[in-house]
Chain A
Amino acid sequence: MLKLLPLIPLFPLISSVLLMVTVGKMPKRLVAILGAGSVGLSAVTTLLVGLAFMESGQPHHQVLWTWMQVGAFSPDIAFYLDGLTLVMMSVITGVGFLIHLFSTEFMEEDASYSRYFAYLNMFVFAMLVLVMADNLLLLYLGWEGVGVCSYLLVGFWYQNPDNGLAARKAFVVTRVGDTAMALGLFLLFTELGTLDIQPMAAAANSQWQVGDTLPVLACLLLLGGAVGKSAQLPLHTWLPDAMAGPTPVSALIHAATMVTAGVYLIARTHELFLLAPPAMLAVALVGLITSLMAASTALVQHDIKRILAYSTISQIGYMFLALGVGAWTAGIFHLVTHAFFKALLFLAAGAVIHCLHHEHNIFKMGGLRTRLPVVFWSFLIGSAALAALPLTSGFFSKDMILLQAYELPTFGPWLWAGGLLGALLTAIYSFRLVFVVFFGKTQMEPDKQPGSRMAVPLSLLCVLSLVGGFFALPLVPLESVFPVASDHHPSHLIEGISIAIPLIGLAIAYFIYLSGQLNIDGLVNSAPGQMLKKFWFSGWAMDWLYDRLWVRPYKGLAYILRGEWVDVIYNSIVKVCQQLFVGLSHTQTGRLRWYATSMVFGVIVVLALLLGVI
């Protein structure tokens, strides 16, 4: 069964290539079957492989062929299956399949139906390569592959220049991180002599001591890549704009899978990070600050997708926090549960947008509770899990992260407190969303109801969001991958606070947005309140800062250089060549005598050289 491993990425690849070469000539029905079916097949294969893996319990390593061979550098096209890979694959193929299924109805009226599925399948392929890769180079291939697919899908409706701009922004900003990651790979290869993950970890453990400069540097460079891909500070600005793509794309790429690639990368190379405590601390701080920043920003947005985008950034911040404090298992656990409930939220938001003539502003919605019951319940469950209300999946994973953060010596309680503040904000903004969109008075009538191909994935994701966290089921395969966390439990008070915080947030949201008993208009309308709101609304003014810091100086430089005086050198080379050409073309007289004379001259010179006269 384990030998079926390479088939898993193969199905979406074949489907994608087929859809590409038929250039949209395929009937829509067939496109849907092919697009969703291939990912479904992958999901089934993943299940089979996963069962076989659980039986043997041993990591499975499968070399397909040698990619290239340059001296001692010979990366293979090889897959490595362990618990971490299996968890990631299950999320990608499982959630991916549900989102594909949802898309078959969501994109029904789009002219580029087949192009959409070609990109989406290609994305699944690249993402699978990313998580299954045995060496960091192949991982990097998948890493860039998902970047390209993300670019293509964000700019899917390319007729609108804004979407193209958002796609370019996503591409360029993640490229900054990717460059750092490439540098990290170079460093690792020159220092350790291999990019194969398992031998590399062994070499690192034998060559480096904990706290050496080199592992810290390498880990910080890898962190740069992770930060870019996972939209963390300071490279997070692309994700909110990436919402320009179709909503299922946001669900799959910009919530459930691709943006968590950074988390996967750090978890995959955790043995390196264990050698670099400063880098670990950096990971934790980046995660915490990002989660607070994004949560406060989400609090004041009014585009439904932007709220969810900032929420995603914030939740990935939690995962980074978990990784930073060494709670690897908790981080991946949160990744999985987040994939469930955030995909659910995005799909539900997509259904709302779909049924409301592409309306994004939450304050123009309202009262949809009775009109779109399936969507309402989905959204409610998703928000509950996002806010980490007790017994939802998000509760278990977030609780695990916060408790383990508390355990960390020195910084632990501070990180814990920051995380709690974030959790409070999360509860407030997620229920603000629910109350504003689904309660209150109706402002717009939905013109259609979600069909079965939308309702089924929503329901399944509801179930996963609710029970996905029980018994920490997704964690079983991870036990063999990560070092075991300590059994020590903090006091019940700490646990009680963790549980109470989301409920407090829910209550605050209820009193502000639903019952109106808590009036904050005065607070908001005061001068500092307005400033804070403006500051938060702009996402802590990061776009403004980058505009001043990078875009404008660059444009200024371009303005200075518009005279093209750098080109003068090249242009003068061209001019000289042209003059030489004109001069030499005069020698082409077309006269036979002239040519004969030239040849004789040449013979004389050559003979003279041979004789040594000249």
Chain B
Amino acid sequence: MLELILFYMASTIALVSTILALTRVNAAHALVYLILSLLAVAVVFYLIGAPFAAALEVVIYAGAIMVLFVFVIMMLNLGEKGDRREKQLLKPQIWITPVILAVLLLVELVLVLSQSAPAETQGLISSKEVGMALYGPYVLAVEIASMLLMAGLVGAYHLGRRYLEEGGGS
């Protein structure tokens, strides 16, 4: 029972903090809410028997990736002017269409979910099992992921260089 209660609490926190994150005007505030949401999702992972995933969620998502965001926001140094601009952008009329579409999509997703037979999560999957799978049948995927990360590194380095500002492009 405790797990169930914990699960619903974590879920609620995740949802609410996500909504708050996406409605903030200030990017730094949004990021804090997002980290909170990710931590709540990590709790969900733990509860459905994936402690390794939960750990990675905290370490890499909430840790490493979010830190990147923080760095960039610091670099851009938006300040008060950016906040004011953001407020103007959140006018009610631009909410209508996306909300209708989102509700429609949600209804469809719920329909899809309701079509499947009810099932429950079972037991714990240890990090050893994950490791065996990762370096067993999925070793090719790991290699591809490493190449993707490499490409991301090179791309990020290239895009971040200053010379593009003056000469390149346009």
Contact = CB atoms under 8 A, between A and B. Distances in A.
Contact of A600 (B105, B109, B112): B105
Nearest to B108: A607
B98 interface: yes
Contacts of A601: 101
A604 B97 contact: no
Interface in B102-123: 102, 104-105, 108-109, 111-112
A582 interface: no
Interface in A585-614: 597, 600-601, 603-604, 607-608, 611, 613
Interface of chain B, main secondary structure: helix
Contacts of A611: 108, 111-112
A611 B115 CA distance: 10
Interface of chain A, main secondary structure: helix
A604 to B, nearest CB: 5
Contacts of B109: 607
Contacts of B112: 607, 611
B97 A603 contact: no
B108 A600 contact: no
Band of interface residues on B: 10 to 19
Interface string B21-54: 0000000000000000000000000000000000
B114 to A, nearest CB: 11
A603 B102 CA distance: 11
A221 B129 CA distance: 83
A204 to B, nearest CB: 68
A607 B105 contact: yes
B111 A604 contact: no
A597 B111 CA distance: 21
Given A611-B111, A611-B112, A604 B98 contact: no
A597 B97 contact: yes
Interface string A181-210: 000000000000000000000000000000
B88 to A, nearest CB: 15
Contacts of A603: 105
A608 B101 contact: no
Given A611-B111, A611-B112, A597 B104 contact: no
Contacts of A600: 98, 101-102, 105
B100 to A, nearest CB: 10
B116 to A, nearest CB: 13
B154 to A, nearest CB: 24
A597 B98 contact: yes
A233 B75 CA distance: 92
A600 B102 CA distance: 8
B112 to A, nearest CB: 7
A607 to B, nearest CB: 5
A608 B109 CA distance: 10
Contacts of A597: 97-98, 101
A613 B111 CA distance: 10
Contacts of B104: 604
A602 to B, nearest CB: 10
Nearest to B109: A607
Contacts of A608: 108
Contacts of A613: 108, 111
A156 to B, nearest CB: 56
Nearest to A603: B105
Contacts of B101: 597, 600-601, 604
A591 to B, nearest CB: 11
A608 B112 CA distance: 10
A596 to B, nearest CB: 9
A613 B107 CA distance: 11
B157 to A, nearest CB: 24
A600 B105 CA distance: 8
Interface in A407-429: none
B109 to A, nearest CB: 8
Nearest to A606: B108
Nearest to A598: B101
Contacts of A604: 101, 104-105, 108
A336 B109 CA distance: 90
B2 to A, nearest CB: 36
Nearest to B104: A604
Contacts of B105: 600, 603-604, 607
Nearest to B105: A604
A409 B108 CA distance: 94
A601 B102 CA distance: 9
A607 B105 CA distance: 8
Nearest to A607: B108
Interface in B49-103: 97-98, 101-102
B76 to A, nearest CB: 18
A170 B108 CA distance: 73
Nearest to A608: B108
B117 to A, nearest CB: 17
Contacts of B102: 600
A597 B101 CA distance: 8
A412 B106 CA distance: 98
A392 B157 CA distance: 96
A614 to B, nearest CB: 11
A611 to B, nearest CB: 6
A150 to B, nearest CB: 59
B9 to A, nearest CB: 30
A592 to B, nearest CB: 13
B57 to A, nearest CB: 25
Closest 10 CB pairs of A and B: A607-B108, A600-B101, A604-B104, A604-B105, A611-B111, A601-B101, A597-B98, A604-B101, A608-B108, A611-B108
Interface of B: 97-98, 101-102, 104-105, 108-109, 111-112
Given A604-B101, A604-B108, A608-B108, 13 more contacts: A597-B97, A597-B101, A600-B101, A600-B102, A601-B101, A603-B105, A604-B104, A604-B105, A607-B109, A611-B108, A611-B111, A613-B108, A613-B111
6 contacts: A597-B101, A600-B102, A601-B101, A603-B105, A607-B108, A613-B111
